Amino acid sequence: MVDFKTIVNDVKTGKSYNVTVSGYHASSLDGKNIGDVVDGIFVGLPGYKLMITGGSDGNGTPMRSDLPGKRRRKLLLSEGIGFHERYPGERRRVAVRGSTISSEIVQINMKITEYGSKSIEESFAANAEAQAENK
């Protein structure tokens, strides 16, 4: 079974929340792309809409939105995600991962695009209590 560490960013306050997604919700995220808007129920935020903004695999290799597919590839980059030049005009061949979420992805970054009726703190507190009761 696939588990994801999901970082949910609240764009109004600038706070980020770390949520572990596993089971059915994690398998539902498999195959989604960067830029897709998903329902907040996957991370325990019912009524919210979240946009996938990026992620990384177990080695820390970042995902790029302009590279289709799930594979990791080596690209010649001059700037952008996965490479920051040290001097003007520098280019380097760097490993980056495609924009589709797969089982190799460990971390998924998301931002809130549409807010629900409950506040984020209330939703996450209710989820924490429910998980504590199940253990």
Model's pTM, two decimal places?
0.87
What's the pLDDT tens digit per position in 93-110? 999 999 999 999 999 999
DSSP string of 82-108, one letter each residue: T---SSTT--EEEEEE-SB--TTEEEE
What total of structural domains would you count in the chain? 1
How confident is the model at residue 53, as a pLDDT? Answer: 96
For 109-121, what is the mean pLDDT?
90
Of the two residues 125 and 1, the one the predictor is more confident about is 125
> Which 3-state string (H, E, C) describes 109-129?
EEEEEECCCCCHHHHHHHHHH
Amino acid identity of 71? R
> Is the pLDDT assigned to residue 45 strictly greater than 70?
yes
Strands 105-114 and 3-9: parallel
CB 116 within 8 A of CB 46: yes
Q: Per-residue pLDDT averaged across 117-123, rounded?
A: 83
Residue 82 has pLDDT above 90, yes or no: no
* Residue 128 pLDDT: 58
Which domain range does residue 61 map to? 3-134
Give me the mean pLDDT over the 44-73 stretch: 93
Q: Residue 17 has what pLDDT?
A: 92
